[in-house]
Amino acid sequence: MHVSVALLYVALMAAPECTSLPTKGDSVRITTHSIVNIAQITLVHISKLKTKLQVVAEIQVRTPSIEGLAGISRDLGRLESELRSPFTDLLGQVEADLSSLEGRVRSLAAAMNCTTQARPTAAAAAAGDHSFPHSRLYLTLVRVQHYLETLVQNKDKLKVC
């Protein structure tokens, strides 16, 4: 009898801790970790694509600085829209990765009450210059790679609006 009462007491006392929802801090930490993981996976995808494209020259690019969630969301949206192209489907996985990454950054920004700009439209991407499409896409791929490497190094900026 005493054993069953003791088990019932332990079960009732442990139940709230086992069933509690994650706190806002836990949610931010988990989402930040997820964003960094997606960025690292995307970098692997880019590395494989660069090998497939067999471009020898290393291109130096400039990317925006990492300042906070609003800027990261804006920059990822722009890079994703630059990757959309009717000329090749090679970059589809990287585009999907960036879309997922940008969505998670927006979600994190909303959870932290940060304001973000509207997502770039497909029309903005279609309006770009279509001369030398493979070179343009390679250049964009290198820009995405550089931006994600910078993001992973500056992951503390994911805690700033």
Q: Which domains does the chain have, with CATH numbers?
A: 22-159 (1.20.1250)
The DSSP 8-state label assigned to residue 89 in this structure reads: S
For tokens 């801090």, name the residue: 25
The one-letter code for the residue type at 8 is: L
Centre a 10 Å sphere on the Cβ of residue 56 and count the other Cβ atoms it contains: 4
Is the entire prediction scored with pTM above 0.85?
Answer: no
Residue 138: predicted pLDDT: 79
pLDDT in tens, the chain (161 residues): 555 545 545 555 555 555 566 677 788 888 899 999 999 999 999 888 887 776 656 777 777 888 888 889 888 888 888 877 665 566 788 888 999 999 999 999 998 888 888 776 654 444 455 566 667 777 888 899 999 999 999 999 888 88
Long-range residue pairs from 72-75, CB within 8 A, at least 24 positions apart, any chain:
72/105, 72/151, 72/157, 72/158, 73/102, 73/105, 73/106, 73/109, 73/116, 73/117, 74/116, 74/117, 75/147
- Please report the DSSP string for 57-88 in residue order: S-----------HHHHHHHHHHHHHHH--SS-
pLDDT of 38: 93
Residues in contact with 124: Cβ distance below 8 Å, sequence separation at least 6, in sequence order: 81
